Amino acid sequence: MKIAFFSTQSYDKEYFTRYNTRHELVFFEAPLNETTVALATGCNAVCAFVNDKLNATVIQQLAGLGIQLIALRCAGYNNVDLNAAQTYQIKVARVPAYSPHAVAEHAVALILALNRKTHKAYNRVREGNFSLDKLIGFDLYGKTVGVIGTGKIGEVFCDIMKGFGCRVLAFDLVANKHLEAKGVEYLPLVTLLPQCDIISLHCPLTEQTRHLINTDTINLMKQGVMLINTSRGALIDTKATIHALKTGQIGYLGIDVYEQEEKLFFYNLSEEIIPDDDIMRLMSFPNVLVTSHQGFFTDEALTQIAQTTLLNIDDFESGKPLVNKVI
Ligand code: NAI
């Protein structure tokens, strides 16, 4: 099959080329939208990522070009109009899971860096400043960590924090029996929040979880709490969080995801004027660490993403059931 890849980065090209044996891959840097859809002319499938726009207009145009499959190289499919795909009989497949360790370990990296200020120490020492002033951290051992969402990633994260000697509390709609057996205690959110020194979010973005972290829930937290979000930006009400950073209610914030990340993350904007005042305010705090959605970014995860996406395409081509189909 001939597949048009949109929003291609150098690493997409590298990993997909490495594992592809039978398809013709055409890589475009442009995101998929109404103005770029014609690039898929002559292809049988498109391969899209989180910020590609697969709305009804784009899907109608893809159908007009003869596209039969949308192969998403990500887990989420909130950017695809599934009704339109159904109407035009275009199949949609995804990569439902890839290295939970990658994201859990990145959450831990944010905790360690925020706590021991390694990013600041690195810059200081490079400039010949060997002072320890203001670099003081705290022992993780014995601290209480709250985990919201204990699915694949949350489970790995709980295990790691247990390894540090932390007391781990959890909130989820369904308790994970393996974690309970290891001493993780499930509590209602309002009971969990006031007890935690560190809170890490690992639940999906749904109507129930949108702005789960808001003024009311922040006010339940311990003064000076460390908040970590590697899940989805909109779990956090950004403006309420900025206010809590200003008052000191939130003492540390580590985020790999951001409510308005579509226009920022994955792009080099170092020579641009960034119009988003909230991200600029967040980055101005000395106790905030922002990374641009790189939790998934490990060799193992990229390998799994490429292999599963190519397998989805193989199965579609050979008429086998699409195990990872969305529709
Ligand atoms: P999962 O589906 O295995 O686990 C999600 C857990 O959240 C489940 O246990 C579920 O019961 C729980 N949950 C659902 N609604 C809830 C609610 N209202 N309150 C509390 N818990 C709730 O998902 P997985 O693989 O662990 O991924 C978690 C999230 O991590 C994803 O939804 C995604 O947003 C994010 N993610 C981030 C990446 C990154 O690069 N930063 C990469 C991959 C995923």
Per-residue pLDDT of the chain (327 residues; tens, 9 = 90+): 999 999 999 999 999 999 999 999 999 999 999 999 999 999 999 999 988 999 999 999 999 999 999 999 998 887 899 999 999 999 999 999 899 999 999 999 999 999 999 999 999 999 999 999 999 999 999 999 999 999 999 999 999 999 999 999 999 999 999 999 999 999 999 999 999 999 999 998 888 999 999 999 999 999 999 999 999 999 999 999 999 999 999 999 999 999 999 889 988 999 999 999 999 999 999 999 999 999 999 999 999 999 999 999 999 999 999 999 999
- CATH number for 100-290 (one of 3.40.50.720, 3.30.365.10, 3.50.50.60, 3.30.230.70): it is 3.40.50.720
Domain locations in the chain? Answer: 2-98+299-318, 100-290
Cα 5 from Cα 178, distance rounded (Å): 39
Model pTM? 0.92
107 alpha carbon – ligand 1 mean position (Å):
13
Catalytic residue among 73, 94, 202, 232: 232
Closest Cα to atom 32, ligand 1: which residue? 204
Report the pLDDT value the prediction gives residue 221, as an integer from 0 to 100: 98
Report the pLDDT value the prediction gives residue 184, as an integer from 0 to 100: 98
User: 110, 61, 68, 72: which is closest to 90 by C-alpha?
Assistant: 68
Report the pLDDT value the prediction gives residue 205, as an integer from 0 to 100: 87
Strands ordered across the beta sheet of 91-93: 24-27, 2-5, 45-48, 69-72, 91-93
- CATH number for 2-98+299-318 (one of 3.30.413.10, 3.40.50.300, 3.40.50.720, 3.30.230.10): it is 3.40.50.720
Cβ of 209 closer than 6 Å to ligand 1, yes or no, is: yes
For residues 264 and 290, is the Cβ–Cβ distance under 8 A?
Answer: no
Q: Which residue has the tokens 């890849």?
A: 5
Report the pLDDT value the prediction gives residue 253, as an integer from 0 to 100: 98
Report the pLDDT value the prediction gives residue 262, as an integer from 0 to 100: 83
Closest Cα to atom 39, ligand 1: which residue? 295
2-98+299-318 and 100-290 share one fold:
yes
Pocket test for ligand 1, best of 11, 99, 147, 153 (most atoms within 8 A of CB): 153
Angle of CA points 278, 284, 290, to nearest 5°: 75
User: 326, 298, 300: which is closest to 312 by C-alpha?
Assistant: 326
